[in-house]
Amino acid sequence: EAELHMTTITINVWDFASDGVTKVTKQRKLTVHKNIAETVQQIFKEIYEGEEQFPIKNIGGYSWRGDTSRSEHCCGLAIDINWEENYLIENGVIISGKCYQPGVNPYSIPTDGEVAKIMNKYGFSQGLWGNRCDYMHFSYFGT
């Protein structure tokens, strides 16, 4: 039933060319709730046009995680960006992803950088919940 309320949008993003140095425009598809699709388009337009030219290697939105899940991914209201380089860590234990190295790894999202600021401007908050930090995760209701 949730899928009936989703739509897939195409966004322009920066990423690296095969040389690993030159930034190039690429397109990514992202499935979100149809009622926020226009807002999400605007968010990624601003990120793309930003001074940082933040590179996005992978991105995901809607993901059905079961009837008992409280994840906003089930509602198409959460977005994960560069999940390998923006890990989910809880009490010092990495749950998902491989690293989080803002300022070193170009795919890691600084909590005070353009991506976080633009997402927050439109009501999305990064998954920073005390001992549990999900640096890849931005959700509309903060869950």
Q: With beta carbons less than 8 A apart as the criterion, state whether 95 and 89 touch.
A: yes
Confidence at residue 142, expressed as pLDDT on a 0 to 100 scale: 87
Distance separating alpha carbons of residues 19 and 78, to the nearest angstrom: 31
Beta strand 132-139 with 125-129: parallel, antiparallel or unpaired?
Answer: antiparallel
Give phi and psi for 133, each to the nearest 5. Answer: -125, 125
Q: What torsion do the CA atoms of 42, 52, 8, 119 make, to the nearest 10 degrees?
A: -60
Confidence at residue 143, expressed as pLDDT on a 0 to 100 scale: 80
Low-confidence residues of the chain: pLDDT under 70: none
Q: What is the pTM of this model?
A: 0.95
Distance separating alpha carbons of residues 74 and 95, to the nearest angstrom: 19
Q: Could you tell me how far CA 39 lies from the centroid of its own chain?
A: 14
Q: With beta carbons less than 8 A apart as the criterion, state whether 128 and 111 touch.
A: yes
Q: Which strand (E) or helix (H) includes residue 78?
A: strand 78-81
Which among 128, 127, 132, 139 is positioned nearest to 43, based on CA atoms?
Answer: 139
Distance separating alpha carbons of residues 117 and 102, to the nearest angstrom: 15
